[in-house]
Structure 1
Amino acid sequence: MFIDRERELGFLEELYREERAHLVVIYGRRRVGKTWLVRRFLEGKRGVYFHALRQPLEVELERLAEALSKALSKYVKADWDSVAEALAEAGKFVLAVDEFTYWVEEEPGVLASLQQLWDVVSARSPLFLILLSSTASLVEKSLSYGGGLFGRRTAQLRLGPFPPYVVKDLLPYCAEDLAVAYAVTNGIPHYLSLFDPKAPLKRNLERLFSKWGPFMKRRRTYSVLKYGSPTSI
């Protein structure tokens, strides 16, 4: 089910239809649906979704080169120049790098490599480069003056939690129970997806906040309305 990201998806599709290169930055807190949005956007398109890891950059380059080799059906050497050349020759192609700021944390100088890659490829091919991150401060630093990607982005999206009205499309509850479900999840898509829509609110809360549930560490933080009176979870 794809809910409440139609505008963002439509925006990406509109950019993609343009015959030019784009560098799109998508950021927002964890579990807010960045990966979900990009994977949906990639459906039916030539491209690669690549999730960066916190490990030496030479290892990451090997992983990236291998992924591109498979997608492009040609050998891509594990260095930035070869990656750039392969992308420049690829034509219309989407490269989505999730949590690219892991690379920045591992080696800040990677921003210069990404800048050079973008400058080389964008001048020759309509690459659609998407950089995703859960660390807003590093994204803003990377895009600011002197940050390596300054002046390169062509668009950006900052994803936030679902608005309250979206919960009614996910859970078949009364207004009061929907308010409780939204309050304990803060409208975060991943947390809302953990609810079983076939089970009553009470049963869902008992499971999610149980000793073995995913919300166990938040037991002391939240209170919900139960039968009209405050009750600690």
Structure 2
Amino acid sequence: MGPAEDHPRGPGGRGGRGAERDRHHAAAGPPERPGGRRPRHAGRCAPSPVHRVPGGARGTRRRLRGRHLTDPRGQAGLHHLDLNVSDLPRSVAFYEEVLGRLGYREVERGTGWMSFGDGTFYITLVQIEERFAARGFHRKGIGVNHLAFPAPSVNAVDDFHAWLMARGVPVLYGSPLDMGHPDQPNYAVFFEDPDRLKLEYVHRPG
């Protein structure tokens, strides 16, 4: 038997009056709303979601196709996070090591930006425009205070702390700190990225 369109009963296996009704409805388009009006977007394709890239790639767009995201939860949780940085090569060198140790890898890059993902979430570093560089970053101002990444165990936090110290990464508050109680462990190390954004690696199950 040949292609479906050559089948005597048509692609859906319908023939005679059924096929004729299908052709009639296809030509008529979407059903009308009460009052004789068709849906506002009838006959038009919905636009693909886009993400405008600031900084060095100003005015350009890249489509969020989710090629590197495999999270079956769909709409649950965060999809991605953009971090503006003052010196992209310096921040890339820092996050390649830190995020690489946490299971992230480079997934995409373009002019003035680079993304690291773990299959369910990704972080994009974006080079800021020079005119904004003098403002700097202060975590006690409006906006992000810090980012926290989950650790599988207390030992993992201790190992990560030793790794940070060996690389001269600024560690804060004399951490690791045990901030929990017997019913709720909360053990973390705090450190800074090159722009002094505070980061945390924490074991806090549940």
Alignment TM class, shorter chain as reference: under 0.3
Give the TM-score of the pair, scaled to structure 2: 0.22
Higher relative contact order (Cα pairs below 8 Å, separated by 6+ residues): 1
- Structure 1 or 2: larger helix share? 1
Largest Rg, 1 or 2: 2
